[in-house]
Chain A
Amino acid sequence: MIRAQAVLWTLALAFWTGAFAQEQGPGLDPHGQLQNPVLQHRFERITKELRCLVCQNESIADSNVELASDLRRQVREMLVAGKSDDTIFKFMTDRYGEFVRFAPPLTAKTALIWGAPFFMMLLGGFIIFRVVRQRSRMPLDE
């Protein structure tokens, strides 16, 4: 039973890695992945975090546009060169603006976006509190 499961998992993994097999280049294995699994993991995370500027709702990890593949190449090269995540994100935002990131960093400019949900929850809670208190003071009648 466990053996059968292991075989299935291996197969699934093989298919899954096969799905990424389109990219080639130096430092890549035959599946188009970086030979260093730590770098590959960072590569996948970073490219999911970056917006493709052509098809603006896709990440550069998902997009097939040429610009996206160029940007993936750029990320890969910077990873291999030992650049930090922050350096890579800065490289991208310097050229394409904050919009290139799906989750913009918390700054004075983006505080409103990040704060709005909490503010609205507080506001809603306050309104409910007021309404409930007002009603509890009302006389009980049918």
Chain B
Amino acid sequence: MWKFLLPFAAFVALVVLFAMGLNPNRDIHALPSPLIGKPAPEFTLTDVLDETRVVTNSTLKGQVYVLNVWASWCLPCRQEHEALLAISREKAVPIIGLDYMDDRNKAKMLLEQLGNPYTAVPFDKDGRTAIDWGVYGAPETYLVNAKGQIVFKFISPMTQEIWEKEFLPRIAAARSGA
């Protein structure tokens, strides 16, 4: 009995494993962020649009906010720009646009030409703040709750659909104190 059952069970287990591996919805390059549930790393930078304006997230404690990592050289960021503009018009939460390893003038020009979805645009010229946040490719979008903890990270261009499906429910949950 065991002689047949054991290899058969092993075979079934292998088939299940392969089926999971072949699942087209699974992104093998997606990495879960270790920062989920941890305090959002603090930063104090200057604003892209105004060199004299200091932008820090320490003043945002007690507020739910979104941090979007972008750059003028980043093509997929251009792709999500429209969606971010639409989202910013909803005024659901402040959207901080961390400008990642960019040229200040190019970033400024882009926001002037395409519109500015951000409430503040901290300028991370050498990418140090991005390293603190575990950024490995723009665009990335983080959701921070009122306690200042990162609750969600989305890697890829933002869309209206993702915003409604992944962000709005989490924002509502963060607001109700869950």
Q: Which residues of B contact A97 (CB under 8 A)?
A: 31-34, 134
Q: Which of B31, B34, B35 contacts A53 (CB 8 A)?
A: B31
Q: Which of A54, A66, A74, A95 contacts B134 (CB 8 A)?
A: A95
Interface core residue of B32, B131, B137 (most chain A CB under 10 Å):
B131
Q: Which of B33, B34, B127 contacts A66 (CB 8 A)?
A: B127
Interface residues on A, range: 10 to 19
B137 near A71 (CB under 8 angstroms)? no
Q: Which of B35, B127, B128, B137 contacts A54 (CB 8 A)?
A: B137
B137 near A95 (CB under 8 angstroms)? no
| Cβ of B101 under 8 Å from chain A | yes
Give Cα distance in the complex from A70 to B128, angstroms.
8
B31 near A96 (CB under 8 angstroms)? yes
Give Cα distance in the complex from A96 to B131, angstroms.
9
A71 near B34 (CB under 8 angstroms)? no
| Cβ of A87 under 8 Å from chain B | no
Q: A93-B34, A95-B34, A97-B33 are in contact. Are A54 and B136 (CB under 8 A)?
A: yes
Chain B residue at smallest Cβ distance from A91: B131
A-B contact count (CB 8 A): 38
Q: Is the interface of A mostly helix, strand, loop or mixed?
A: helix
Give Cα distance in the complex from A8 to B51, angstroms.
54
The digit string for A72-109, where 1 denotes a CB below 8 A from any CB of B, is: 00100000000000000000011111110000000000
Give Cα distance in the complex from A74 to B31, angstroms.
21
**CB neighbors of B among A57-76 (8 A):** 66-67, 70-71, 74
Give Cα distance in the complex from A51 to B31, angstroms.
13
B132 near A95 (CB under 8 angstroms)? yes
| Cβ of A56 under 8 Å from chain B | yes
Give Cα distance in the complex from A67 to B33, angstroms.
16
Shortest CB-to-CB span from A107 to chain B, Å, is: 14
Q: Which of B101, B126, B127, B131 contacts A95 (CB 8 A)?
A: B131
Give Cα distance in the complex from A39 to B48, angstroms.
36
| Cβ of B118 under 8 Å from chain A | no
Chain A residue at smallest Cβ distance from B28: A56
Q: Which 7 A-B pairs have the closest CB atoms?
A: A53-B136, A95-B134, A97-B34, A70-B127, A96-B134, A99-B31, A67-B136
| Additional A-B contact list (19), CB under 8 Å, known A53-B136, A93-B34, A97-B134 | A54-B137, A56-B29, A66-B101, A66-B127, A67-B127, A67-B136, A70-B101, A70-B126, A70-B127, A70-B131, A74-B131, A94-B35, A95-B35, A95-B131, A95-B133, A95-B134, A96-B31, A97-B32, A97-B34
